[in-house]
C-alpha cells in the first residue's frame, strides 16, 4: 500500500466516521476522532457481518485493499452510541448566546 493509498483509505474512514457521528449525534475529537471512529467501525462492522453471515454491501477498492463503507458506518454508529452512553454524564453544558 502506497502513501497515496493510505491517505485515501484514511480519508474514506474519516467520512464514514463523520457520518456515523452525525447519525448518533455525538461528535467529539474532530477530524482525527472521525478517522479513528471510521477505522474502528470498519473492523467492528466487518466482524459483526461475518458473525451474522452477511456479505459485503458496498466496498471501495483502494490499492489492493477493500474498504467496507456500509459496515464501517454501521459499526462506527454502534461504537459511537456505546461511547455516548458511557460518557453522557460527563458532558459539559454548552453556553448559549443568552447566557452572556
Q: How many domains does the chain have?
A: 1
- Over residues 33-63, the pLDDT tens digits come to 898 998 999 899 999 999 999 888 888 888 8
The C-alpha atoms of residue 32 and residue 37 are separated, in whole angstroms, by 8
Mean pLDDT of 69-79: 91
- Over residues 6-22, the pLDDT tens digits come to 888 889 889 998 999 89
Query: Helix, strand or coil for residue 25?
Result: coil
**DSSP E strands: which ranges in the chain?**
59-62, 65-68
| 33 is a domain residue | yes
Place of cell 454491501: 57
pLDDT value of residue 51? 93
Range of the domain at 19: 3-80
- Is the CB of residue 47 less than 8 Å from the CB of residue 71? no
| 89 is a domain residue | no
Amino acid at each position: 500500500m502506497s502513501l497515496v493509498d493510505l491517505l485515501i483509505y484514511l480519508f474514506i474512514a474519516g467520512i464514514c466516521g463523520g457520518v456515523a457521528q452525525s447519525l448518533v449525534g455525538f461528535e467529539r475529537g474532530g477530524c482525527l476522532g472521525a478517522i479513528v471512529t471510521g477505522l474502528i467501525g470498519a473492523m467492528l462492522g466487518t466482524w459483526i457481518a461475518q458473525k451474522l453471515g452477511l456479505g459485503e454491501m458496498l466496498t471501495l477498492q483502494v490499492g489492493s485493499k477493500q474498504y467496507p463503507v456500509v459496515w464501517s458506518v454501521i459499526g462506527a454508529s454502534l461504537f459511537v452510541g456505546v461511547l455516548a452512553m458511557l460518557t453522557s454524564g460527563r458532558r459539559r453544558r454548552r453556553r448559549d448566546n443568552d447566557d452572556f
